[in-house]
Amino acid sequence: MRKLAALLVALFAVLPRAEAASVVLLHGLARSSDSMAKMNRALGAAGYHVCNVSYPSREHPIEVLTRDFVLPAVRACLTNPTDEVHFVTHSLGGIVVRQLAKSAPELKFGRVVMLSPPNHGSEVVDKLGELALFKFINGPAGLELGTGQASVPQSLGAPPFQVGIITGDRTINLILSLLIPGPDDGKVSIESAKLTGMAGFCVVPASHPFIMKNRLAIEQTLAFLATGAFTCPAEPT
């Protein structure tokens, strides 16, 4: 925590302070709001009004999760329904916020940072989705995250908000990585994380389950929310 506090002091010496803007955190599949606790603390220390949302990610399809659980939580987070709201998401949370933009266009979206989002699906779902254990662990939403054109991520199109994407290039599951073409974080390939029209893209040395706790990912999240750009080196073209 001391290192993170020092990082915040250094970062916000050169970046503009947030003026009590609201940020909603959305965790990943089969996780809870506890997984976003470190990010929550960092954003709170930076002056943001943070709402760390929990939703039953394993129990319902993505559209139902968005409509019945996430949207009411977002509305409750805002003191004024017309206020702008930023988002920081992990994994499935990135697809949920894209669905939210489609389901609730009346929301005033600010900047969105997605951590390891399966924006074009994951080959892991393609290969293992029919297994009973996979269905039990990941539920209906997990089965909607394949790479086929009928999958939810592939059906949502370009987002109508400013988005920066951070993904990892480390894995703690070599078996799953063998199912994924190209560099990946153990669940999602670097290429699958990208979106047409994204305002920034950053790769950090982190694995899928832990990227939201990664110091560099937190630093880059703060930078993007404050300025609309990352400070990490541009990806080679």
Q: What is the mean pLDDT of each run of 10 residues along the chain (237 residues)?
A: 52 50 96 96 95 96 97 92 93 97 94 97 91 93 93 93 96 89 93 95 96 96 96 66
Q: What is the pLDDT of residue 11?
A: 52
Quote the pLDDT of residue 16: 47
Domains and CATH numbers, the chain: 2-7+20-227 (3.40.50.1820)
pLDDT of residue 29: 96
Q: What is the pLDDT of residue 216?
A: 96
Task: Indicate the DSSP class of residue 192.
Answer: H
Q: Which of 2, 23, 231, 234 is nearest to 113 (CA)?
A: 23
**What is the arrangement of strands in the sheet containing 84-90, beginning at the earlier edge strand?**
49-53, 22-26, 84-90, 108-115, 162-168, 200-204
pLDDT at residue number 2: 52
**Buried/exposed 28-43: b ≥16 CB within 10 Å, e otherwise:** bbebeeebbebbbbbb
Beta-strand relationship, 162-168 and 108-115: parallel
Residue type, 62: I
Contact 145, 125 (CB under 8 A): yes
What is the reported pLDDT for 9? 47
What's the confidence (pLDDT) of residue 79? 83
Using alpha carbons, list the distances in angstroms from residue 26 to 34, 76, 93, 149: 11, 14, 5, 24
